[in-house]
Homo-oligomer: A and B are copies of this chain.
Amino acid sequence: MSTSTSGWTSERFYAEYETPAYYEKHIAQVRHFVDLHKTSGRRVVLITSGGTTVPLERNVVRFVDNFSAGTRGAASAEYFLAAGYAVIFLSRQHSQFPYTRLYSHTTNPFFDILQEPQSASGDGQIRVKDDQVEKLLPVLHAYHQAIQTQCLLSVPFVTVIEYLFLLRGISNEMKPLHKNAMHYLAAAVSDFFIPLNRIQEHKIQSSDGGLQLVLEPVPKVLADLVHDWTPESYVVSFKLETDKRLIIPKAEKSLDRYGHQLVIGNDLARRKTELVFIERVPENERKAGARAYKSTEFHLPKEATYEIEQDVVASLNDRHSQWIDGSA
């Protein structure tokens, strides 16, 4: 099914585009990962993170990109792992990655925390500077734990085409997890793309003067995900707006349209300290004539030494438990 209003329904999209390179390799890894955790009864969350690109040329030199460093997704992955989830991290190549994000090449280059071998000791070892160990050790340990327990699987994408194929493929593989599955759709997905037949073969030449681009809406696939791909998953989507007043009405419209469980709304300027959950009021709690939706605000205290994603993941963990128990 599809509720897209554009010429490109999801059926048309998946029928006309070719499966991207490496797709089968990634899906085989996901299948193995899901099998492993299905057996142990561990919950599995698919986190999407980072922005998707829209190529303007077939030999990609230029593309339209969506702003997203991927911090939300990477931070959330750490808290989901700490809460005992297995995490499929579907993220934009080179965007923020769980744990390593704390040592960005630009803001905190890891070469700066390493010390060359001391000629005095003569053991030839490269060490982390003593004053850096306290901060690094817990992060390093959590990362190694996630890798060793096979609880973190990374799947990269660049274009919105790759993203849409991988989202469908991974979601289909998650079906056997039943209600132990969660979708946490934090990626900044392009709203527009340039369909195949309009893409130029070579780099657009600028000597012709200006450049006019005509983009069409990207097919909406959330309804397919909720109704066909992983119908028992607890599905969380995000709404990022620069005009705060649009968040709640757009979130409610989205829940109406796609039938998923929760929208996390955020305002671009305040996204690190304020969030709002928008969700349906359960039928048995709803009073006659009352609103069908409720919202819950999250504010990070000014003196907080943790990130807002910690509260978000704790609340989602509770809601997911209720979902599994059948009380949500």
Q: Chain A: residues with CB nearer than 8 A to chain B?
A: 5-6, 53, 56-57, 59-67, 69, 93-94, 97, 99-101, 103-106, 109-112, 114, 116-117, 124-128, 130, 133, 136-137, 140-141, 143-144, 147, 156, 188, 190-192, 202-204, 206, 209-217, 240-243, 268-269
A62→B136 CA distance, assembly (Å):
34
Judge whether B125 and A99 touch: CB under 8 Å: no
Judge whether B116 and A242 touch: CB under 8 Å: no
Judge whether B212 and A206 touch: CB under 8 Å: no
Mostly, the A contact residues are mixed
Nearest CB of chain B from residue A11's CB, rounded to whole Å: 19
Of the candidates B6, B57, B133, B268, the one whose C-beta lies within 8 Å of that of A61 is B268
Judge whether B192 and A210 touch: CB under 8 Å: yes
Judge whether A64 and B63 touch: CB under 8 Å: yes
Of the candidates B65, B66, B215, the one whose C-beta lies within 8 Å of that of A210 is B215
A140→B113 CA distance, assembly (Å):
11
Judge whether B116 and A144 touch: CB under 8 Å: yes
The 9 closest A-B pairs by CB, nearest first: A191-B206, A126-B128, A59-B242, A211-B215, A65-B65, A213-B213, A192-B211, A100-B105, A202-B242
A141→B116 CA distance, assembly (Å):
7
A212→B130 CA distance, assembly (Å):
55
Q: Are A63 and B65 CB-contacts (below 8 A) given A111-B144, A209-B5?
A: yes
Judge whether A61 and B240 touch: CB under 8 Å: yes
Contacts of A209 in B (CB 8 A): 5-6, 217
Pairs across A and B, CB under 8 Å, 27 listed: A59-B269, A61-B268, A62-B64, A62-B65, A63-B67, A94-B94, A99-B111, A101-B105, A103-B110, A111-B140, A111-B143, A116-B137, A116-B141, A124-B133, A126-B127, A191-B206, A192-B210, A203-B241, A210-B214, A210-B215, A210-B217, A211-B216, A212-B212, A212-B213, A212-B215, A213-B213, A213-B215
Contacts of A188 in B (CB 8 A): 61
Residue from A65, A104, A204, A241 with most neighbouring chain B CB atoms (10 Å)? A65
Residue of B nearest to A253 (CB): B207
Contacts of A112 in B (CB 8 A): 147
Judge whether B65 and A64 touch: CB under 8 Å: yes
Nearest CB of chain B from residue A251's CB, rounded to whole Å: 14
Judge whether A268 and B59 touch: CB under 8 Å: yes
